[in-house]
């Protein structure tokens, strides 16, 4: 079940809202939200919902033991056991076949293990389980006495499948004491409607355009402009798709009284790679910063140790997205860029005009998404070479400037790619600032905003009922 599906919009969500708000008791509301959250996950994973429950319950028990234990050594051993328990399921499903096949290839064996079915959202809920136990260990938050409250934190459906990754300390208080004021409900539904429109009207359209480009052809016969067009379209599809899900998750969280942190902050306006990663998938960056980079020493132990810590973080970041060498290469790509930016080219970059830094950042990010896309290294190389005007199809020679797929996209969609790029900018923020300052302006802004979001919601439903292309592409990570 996905947020942009008819089952969710016309059955699951209305029934949940009706039952949730029919009583004010927090116990009733938690029970209803927990039942529907487990149903939401079981809809796609009827078996492995029990895996999530088992891992959560084991961490709940270990967190209680950590709380009661005073001996530092035993506390560390219990924490280590919790980490092993949390990561073992993720490792088995996501990485065991990958590592087996890697070692098999190294030793010349032709046998290959088939990739296991990956339970939906396992990477996200595993990280949240870890934040629960680690936050208890660090005494940032108290453990839940009721195991159902711990299970609600992990399984709460708005952020369960694709984030944002919610750290336990940030919502521990709201599990037992929260309320939904009318303004919270309104703002939450508005945020949900905005995310739905972004998903249906922008991300899905980007996906349809992308299916016509050279990415769909696995890198064969790629032209220079075709290679860049498909890279930019994939960059926008990833952003609109994932940020739309985050918008809907944050909006639904607010409807039910939770205040999740932002996950995206217009990353494509960044003027550096460092700034890009402060704006893109902020909950993942925050997790690795708080639970890996800083515990390793961060930047407090000299330049060499800082670079080593960055290498560890970016290797893990790459592999977190998938058990494939292209993701490891993608992590290495950003590690190198960040090291160059912070330690080698910093003074030179400061002298470059802001607009040029912005353009260079976008080009590097788009290049990174090509690495991210291809699990076939031959197709990846073909595409990357085409982006610098070289073709390796039938021998090394100059790549053509355009191809038939690119012409088809331009004829069919004309200026739509440019419109998509415009919506990557902070348009809503600029409009919001324009309608502030006086009560009259704010009232006009509220009315126009309500009318616009209502129209977008209606158009989204119309397009949804007529579309066959409606995946959430980030689920596979």
Using the 3D structure, point to which of 179, 198, 233 is the last residue of a domain: 179
- Provide the CB-side half-sphere exposure for 218 (13 A, CA): 4
The residue among 2, 321, 19 whose CA lies nearest residue 157 is 2
Tell whether 265 and 375 lie within a shared domain: yes
Tell whether 118 and 216 lie within a shared domain: no
Residue 60 lies in a domain: yes
Active site residue 281: no
pTM for the model: 0.88
Q: What pLDDT, on the 0 to 100 scale, is given for residue 219?
A: 47
Tens digit of each residue's pLDDT (9 = 90 or more) over 145-171: 999 999 999 999 998 887 788 888 888
Tell whether 165 and 189 lie within a shared domain: no
Tell whether 325 and 442 lie within a shared domain: yes
- Residue 22: strand, helix, or coil: coil
Tell whether 315 and 215 lie within a shared domain: yes
Can you state the angle between helices 49-68 and 122-137, rounded to 10 degrees?
10
Tell whether 151 and 259 lie within a shared domain: no
Residue 314 lies in a domain: yes
Using the 3D structure, point to which of 161, 179, 197 is the last residue of a domain: 179
Residue 27's domain spans which residues?
A: 22-179
Start-end of H helices in 46-107: 49-68, 72-90, 96-106
Using the 3D structure, point to which of 114, 149, 179 is the last residue of a domain: 179
CA distance 138 to 66: 10
Residue 8 lies in a domain: no
Tell whether 188 and 174 lie within a shared domain: no
The mean pLDDT value for 252-257 works out to 93
Tell whether 149 and 190 lie within a shared domain: no
Structure tokens at 141: 């938050």
- Provide the CB-side half-sphere exposure for 385 (13 A, CA): 20
The mean pLDDT value for 430-457 works out to 76
The mean pLDDT value for 162-183 works out to 87
Residue 14 lies in a domain: no
Count up the domains in the chain and report the number: 2
Tens digit of each residue's pLDDT (9 = 90 or more) over 342-378: 888 888 888 889 889 999 999 999 999 999 998 888 8
Tell whether 203 and 324 lie within a shared domain: yes
Residue 209 lies in a domain: yes
Q: What pLDDT, on the 0 to 100 scale, is given for residue 110?
A: 75
Question: Which residue among the candidates 259, 266, 321, 358 is catalytic per the annotation?
Answer: 321
The mean pLDDT value for 25-30 works out to 92
For residue 398, give the H/E element and its range. strand 397-398
Residue 12 lies in a domain: no
pLDDT value at 305 more than 70: yes
CA distance 362 to 369: 11
Residue 3 lies in a domain: no
Tell whether 60 and 208 lie within a shared domain: no
Residue 76 lies in a domain: yes
Q: Check if the beta carbon of residue 248 is closer than 8 Å to that of residue 337.
A: no
- Provide the CB-side half-sphere exposure for 464 (13 A, CA): 21
Taken in order 232, 340, 357, 275, is the CA torsion positive or negative? positive
Tens digit of each residue's pLDDT (9 = 90 or more) over 105-160: 777 777 778 877 878 888 888 989 999 999 999 988 889 999 999 999 999 999 88
CA distance 329 to 384: 13
pLDDT value at 177 more than 60: yes
Tell whether 122 and 227 lie within a shared domain: no
427: CB partners within 8 A, 6+ apart = none
Tell whether 219 and 167 lie within a shared domain: no
- Mean pLDDT (the chain, rounded): 86
Q: Check if the beta carbon of residue 94 is closer than 8 Å to that of residue 476.
A: no
The mean pLDDT value for 209-215 works out to 76
């Amino acid at each position: 079940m996905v947020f942009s599906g008819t089952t969710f919009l016309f059955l699951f969500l209305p029934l949940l809202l009706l039952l949730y708000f029919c009583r004010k008791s927090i116990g009733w509301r938690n029970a209803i939200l927990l039942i529907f959250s487990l149903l939401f996950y079981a809809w796609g994973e009827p078996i492995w919902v029990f895996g999530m429950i088992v891992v959560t319950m084991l961490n709940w028990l270990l967190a209680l033991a950590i709380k009661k234990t005073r001996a530092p050594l035993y506390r560390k051993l219990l924490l280590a056991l919790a980490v092993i328990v949390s990561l073992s399921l993720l490792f088995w499903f996501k990485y065991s076949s990958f590592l087996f096949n890697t070692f098999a290839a190294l030793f010349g064996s032709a046998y290959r293990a088939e990739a296991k079915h990956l339970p939906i959202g396992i990477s996200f809920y595993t990280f949240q389980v870890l934040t629960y136990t680690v936050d208890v260990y660090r005494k940032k938050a108290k453990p839940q006495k009721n195991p159902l409250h711990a299970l609600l934190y992990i399984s709460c459906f708005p952020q369960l499948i694709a984030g944002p990754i919610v750290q336990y300390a940030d919502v521990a208080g709201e599990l037992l004491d929260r309320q939904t004021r009318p303004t919270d409900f309104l703002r939450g539904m508005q945020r949900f409607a905005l995310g739905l429109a972004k998903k249906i009207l922008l991300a899905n359209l980007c996906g349809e355009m992308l299916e016509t480009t050279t990415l769909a052809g696995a890198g064969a016969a790629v032209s220079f402009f075709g290679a860049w067009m498909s890279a930019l379209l994939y960059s926008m599809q990833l952003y609109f798709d994932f940020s739309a899900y985050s918008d809907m998750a944050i909006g639904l969280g607010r409807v039910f009284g939770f205040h999740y942190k932002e996950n995206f902050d217009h990353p494509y306006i960044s003027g550096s790679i460092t700034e890009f990663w402060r704006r893109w998938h902020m909950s993942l960056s925050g997790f690795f910063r708080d639970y890996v980079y800083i515990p390793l020493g961060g930047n407090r132990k000299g330049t060499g140790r800082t670079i080593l810590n960055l290498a560890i973080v970016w290797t893990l970041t790459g592999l977190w997205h998938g058990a494939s060498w292209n993701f490891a290469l993608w992590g290495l790509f950003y590690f190198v860029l960040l090291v160059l930016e912070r330690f080698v080219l910093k003074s030179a970059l400061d002298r470059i005009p802001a607009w040029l830094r912005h353009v260079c950042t976008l080009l590097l990010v788009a290049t990174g998404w090509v690495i991210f896309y291809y699990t076939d290294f031959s197709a990846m190389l073909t595409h990357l070479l085409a982006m610098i005007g070289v073709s390796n199809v039938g021998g090394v020679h100059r790549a053509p400037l355009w191809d038939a797929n690119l012409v088809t996209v331009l004829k069919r969609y004309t200026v739509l790619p440019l419109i998509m790029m415009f919506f990557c900018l902070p348009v809503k923020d600029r409009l919001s600032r324009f309608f502030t300052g006086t009560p009259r302006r704010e009232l006009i802004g509220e009315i126009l905003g309500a009318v616009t979001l209502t129209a977008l919601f209606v158009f989204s439903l119309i397009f949804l009922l007529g579309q066959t292309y409606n995946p959430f592409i980030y689920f596979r990570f």
